[in-house]
Amino acid sequence: MLGQLLMSGLAAGSLYALTAVAVVVVFRNTRTINLAQGDFAMMGAFLALIFIKSLGLSYLFALGLSVVCIMALGVLTERLVMRPIADSGWLTLFTATLGVYYILHGVSGWLWGRDTKAFPVTFDPTPIHFLGTVVSEGHLINMAWVTAIGALLYSFFRYTKQGIAMRAVTDDPETAQLMGIPVRFIVMLTWAMAGFLGAFAGILAAPIIYVAPEMMDEVLIKGYVAAVFGGLYSIPGAILGAILIGVAENLAGGYLGAHFKTAIAFVMIVILLAFRPQGLIGIQKRREV
């Protein structure tokens, strides 16, 4: 039982990690929490479902097309909503993302209804034996996808000009602009990346749960908690926090009861922040005056 709970926790944590990393990426370059991140994922799942069931596209082609559409949604969010108020305080920016959250919730409910919809299962539902435990093939596929996305992000931030520029904007946006880095373009690219990660999170989660406007609400909360757990500026910290939360909540649900699953994430974050306010992997303290 322990091995199965650990594997399920790793699978859940990997999905939380996609949301947590997106939260961190946007926060590092805009200093705001994107409350619409879960709805980026939800819209990606709905689009993939439409592409597969209504247009008859293959799963991979529907996935790729959905990812492109949600990246475009991220860009539109930045250009139409966030850029005009970019110099506002954090509360204004935070409230704007809350507005986008409710808009996308309302649009999805209007277009596709609020009833839950089944996503086509793209894997064999028969449990398989892996590392001495029984696990769903879907969980293994999702972990493989998340690992590949993690490697892609690492390469992007380390070896591409745009990735290095994003790191420079994170460290000091004013100096980066003086050095000729197009800060506005980098911020737009940041929101496109949030759309990229959101679409994958929603499409990978959809076959395991369901598709509905509220499908990613709990994932967003746990992804945000994981981001805070890791320090809000640290991508490795967000990933580690997501994995720890996924494993901890599955162990709590297995041994203490299902009603403890959600609570355990908040218990962990309260205990951590009480002893380490900067998060699990803290970096240099930043303060705006």
Backbone angles phi, psi at 57, to 5 degrees: -80, 155
Check: pTM over 0.85? Answer yes or no: yes
Radius of gyration of the chain (CA): 19
Q: How far apart are CA 249 and CA 259, in angstroms?
A: 10
> pLDDT tens for residues 174-202?
788 778 888 889 999 999 999 999 999 99
User: What are the DSSP calls for 195-247, one per residue?
Assistant: HHHHHHHHHHHTTTS-BSTTTTHHHHHHHHHHHHHHTSS-HHHHHHHHHHHHH
Q: How far apart are CA 72 and CA 90, in angstroms?
A: 24
pLDDT in tens, the chain (289 residues): 677 778 888 888 988 999 999 999 999 888 888 999 999 999 999 999 999 998 989 999 999 999 999 999 999 999 999 999 988 888 899 999 999 999 999 999 999 988 889 888 777 666 777 666 777 777 888 888 999 999 999 999 889 988 888 888 887 777 887 788 888 899 999 999 999 999 999 999 998 888 999 999 888 988 998 998 888 888 888 999 899 998 888 888 778 777 777 788 788 888 888 888 777 776 554 444 3
Query: What residues pair up with 133 in beta bridges, in sequence order?
Result: 130
As to burial, measured by CB atoms within 10 angstroms (0-12 exposed, 13-18 middle, 19+ buried), residue 68 is middle
Q: How far apart are CA 2 and CA 75, in angstroms?
A: 43
Nearest to 19 by CA among 209, 273, 221: 221
Amino acid at 13: G
* CATH node for 2-116+136-275: 1.10.3470
> pLDDT tens for residues 196-228?
999 999 999 998 888 999 999 888 988 998 998
Angle at 153 between CA 175 and CA 58, to 5 degrees: 135
2 SS3 class: helix
CB 81 within 8 A of CB 96: yes
> pLDDT tens for residues 247-277?
888 888 778 777 777 788 788 888 888 888 7
Backbone angles phi, psi at 242, to 5 degrees: -65, -45
Q: Over the chain, what is the mean pLDDT?
A: 86
Q: CA–CA distance from 288 to each of 49, 89, 90, 181, 285 (Å)?
A: 44, 11, 11, 22, 10
- Every domain of the chain and the residues it spans: 2-116+136-275
